[in-house]
Structure 1
Amino acid sequence: MRLIFGLVLLAGLGLAGFAVYLAKGTFGQSAAEASALRDEVVALRGRMSTMAPVFVAGRDLAYGDRLTEDDVRVILWPEEEIPGDAFRIVDGENDLFAGEDRRTVLFAMVEGEPMLPAKLTAPGEDAGLVARLTPGHRAFAIPVDAASGVSGFLRPGDRVDVYWSGSVNGETESGASGDVTRLIESNVLIVAVDQDDGADRTSARLARTVTVEALPRTVAALTQAQATGRLTLSLVGIYDDTVAERIEIDQQELLDIREVREVARPARAQVCTIRTRRGGSTVEVPVACPE
C-alpha cells in the first residue's frame, strides 16, 4: 500500500513539474512577443516623425478629367519614399491648387496614386495633343489599315517600328535592288489613334490613322516614304529595350535567289581558206589569215 502511495506521489510531483515547465515557457514566449511588439511600436513612432503630407488621387481619374479639390485627398507618406516632384503641402501651402485655374489629367490614375506633374497639365491648360508632345518633337499622322496597323491593337503610348516597302532604281548600299523593304524608324511613340489620344481603351479597334511623335528630320523622312512607297507598323513589346539594327530585304534575299553568270567560252581559232579548182572538183585550201 505504501508502495502505491509512493508511486502516486511521484507521479503527482512529475505532473506538477511539467506544468511549471510549460507555464514558464508560455510566459517566456509572451514576454518575447511583447518585447518585439514594443520594438515595432517604437520603430513606427520613429517613422511617423518623418512622414509628410502628400496629395493622392481620391478616386480613379481618367484622361481629360478636370481636377478639383474633391478629386484628391491628403495622406501622410514616408519622407524618404515620396517621389521628388510629387505635389505636397509645405508650410501650409501647395502648388497643386495655386490660383483659380485648374489642371487637367493627362494620364489615367488610380485611387491612392501620388499626384505627379508629368500626369497633369499646367494650370488652365487643356489636355490636348500639344500638351503631350515632347519638346522639339512633332506630331505626324500615318494612314493604316488592318494589316499595316497591327489589326487594330495599337493605342496611344505604344511604340512601333516603321517599315517602308517600295521599288528602287539601281542598287542600295547593301546591294538590294527592285522591290525592297527597309526599317526606316525604330521605337516610335504613338500619341493618338484616329481622334483618340487617350490610353484608356482596352479593346482592339481598326484605325484609319495613327499619329506618332517624331523629330522634324524624321517627319521629313516619313513624308518622303509615304510619297514613294507603303508604310507598315510593327508593335514593340512594352519591356523590349533592344536597339534595332538596320534591316533591308529585297526579293532576291527573301527567296534566296542567286544570280547565275554565264561562263565565257574560249574563242575559236580563226581559220582562213580559199577555194581552188583541181581537176573536176572544187576544194578549200587553208591559207594564212590576213592581219
Structure 2
Amino acid sequence: MRMVFGLVLLVGVALAGSAVYMAQNYIGAYQDELARAQQDQARIVPTQTVYVAKRALKYGDQLKKDDVRPVAWPQTALPDGTFGDLAVLFPEDTDEPRLILRPMEPNEPLLMVKVTEPGDDIGLTSRLERGMRAFAIRVDVASGVSGFLRPGDRVDVYWTGRIEDGDRGQDMTQLIDTSVQLIAVDQNEESISGARIARTVTVSVRPEQVAALAQAQSTGTLSLALVGVGDDTQLSDIQVDQVSLLGLEQAAPRPQVAKERECSIRTRRGSEVVSISIPCTN
C-alpha cells in the first residue's frame, strides 16, 4: 500500500513539473509574440483619410464624385488644404460644380488651391502668383514662334527698334527679358493642341517688368523666343545692330572744314548800296 502511494505521489510530482515547464514555455512564447506585436505597432505610421484624383484632371474640368476616391495618407506628410470629408468636397446644399484650377495626375491629392469653390468661375487672376502682374504682348506669325506657344511655356523677349544718335540713327535688336512665363494665349488659359496663330499672349511679370515691356512695345516691336523645358541657361546682355550684324566698321564722322572768314564793308554809290570785300583784321 505504501509502495502504491509513493508511486502515485511520484507520478503526480512528475506531471506537475511537466505542467509547470509547459506553462513557462507557453508564457514565454506569448510574451515574445506580444513584444513583437508592440514593435510592429510602433512602426505603423498613423494615417488620415484624404481624397485623391482617380484620373488625370486638366484645367477647367468639372470635378465629379466619380473623379475622386479616399485613401489613407500618412499624417506626417499631409499637405495643407486636403479634403478628408466627401461632404465638404461636394456640399449637399448646392448643385454648383467645382472646377479644376491646376492640372492633376491620378492619385494626386485634391487641394483647396487646385479647385474652385462651388459655383466660382475660373479667371486669369488664379494663375498669377503673389506679386506678379499680367501683361499682354502683341504677336504675329513671325514674332509668336509660328503659333506654337502654349500657356505655361517660357519665352525670351527681344525688342527691335531704332535708336537715334545725334544726326544719325541705327536699327537695333536687344534682349530685354528672359524666361517669362506665358499664362494665356489670346483668351485661352489652358493647354491647346496644334499650331495656332495668336494675336496676343499674356505673360506673368513683376511690376517693374510691366513698365519696361510697355515702353518697349510702344517704341518698337517685340519678338518672342521659346525656351526649352528644363532650360535654366542664364543669358547675358544680347544686343545686335546693323553694323555688328554685317561685320562692318563704324564709319568715322566727316571732319568739319572750317569755313573761311569773309569781311566786307558797305558803301553807297549814288542810289545803290555796294558791298566791298576787305581783308579781315582780327
The alignment's TM-score, normalised by the length of structure 2, stands at: 0.65
Match of 1:244 in 2: 235
Question: Would you say how many aligned residue pairs link Structure 1 and Structure 2?
Answer: 218
Deviation at 1:125, TM superposition (A): 2.8
What one-letter code is carried by the residue in structure 2 that aligns with 1:187?
S
- Partner Cα distance (1:205, 1:184) in 2: 25
- Partner Cα distance (1:232, 1:192) in 2: 16
Match of 1:195 in 2: 187
- Partner Cα distance (1:42, 1:178) in 2: 82
SS at match of 2:99: coil
What one-letter code is carried by the residue in structure 1 that aligns with 2:185?
V
SS at match of 1:224: helix
Return 5+ residue gaps in structure 1 as ranges: 1-40, 172-176, 265-291
Deviation at 1:110, TM superposition (A): 2.8
Deviation at 1:86, TM superposition (A): 5.2
CA pair 73-42 structure 1, distance change in 2 beyond 3 A? farther
- Partner Cα distance (2:164, 2:90) in 1: 61
Give the conservation status (yes or no) of the 8 Å contact 2:83–2:111. Answer: no
Deviation at 1:251, TM superposition (A): 1.1
Deviation at 1:261, TM superposition (A): 4.6
- Partner Cα distance (2:159, 2:175) in 1: 6
- Partner Cα distance (1:234, 1:178) in 2: 23
CA displacement, residues 141-168 of structure 1 (integer Å, 9 cap, x when unaligned): 2121222111111100111111000100
1:74 to 60, 70, 78: 70
Match of 1:150 in 2: 145
CA pair 261-194 structure 1, distance change in 2 beyond 3 A? closer
SS at match of 1:253: helix
What one-letter code is carried by the residue in structure 1 that aligns with 2:202?
T
Match of 2:214 in 1: 223
Deviation at 1:234, TM superposition (A): 0.7
Structure 1, 155-164 or 128-137: larger mean CA deviation: 128-137
CA displacement, residues 123-148 of structure 1 (integer Å, 9 cap, x when unaligned): 54321212222233322221212221
SS at match of 2:247: coil
2:176 to 169, 174, 184: 184
2:59 to 52, 63, 75: 63
1:169 to 158, 164, 167: 164
- Partner Cα distance (1:159, 1:138) in 2: 15
What one-letter code is carried by the residue in structure 2 that aligns with 1:159?
R
Match of 1:54 in 2: 50
- Partner Cα distance (1:125, 1:137) in 2: 22
The alignment's TM-score, normalised by the length of structure 1, stands at: 0.63
Mapping 1:4-153, distance limit 5 Å:
49-82=45-78, 84-85=79-80, 87-89=82-84, 96-97=89-90, 100=94, 103-122=98-117, 124-153=119-148
Deviation at 1:206, TM superposition (A): 1.9
Match of 2:244 in 1: 253
Q: Percent identity?
A: 47
Deviation at 1:111, TM superposition (A): 2.5
Give the conservation status (yes or no) of the 8 Å contact 1:87–1:95. Answer: no
Deviation at 1:259, TM superposition (A): 2.7
CA pair 78-210 structure 1, distance change in 2 beyond 3 A? same
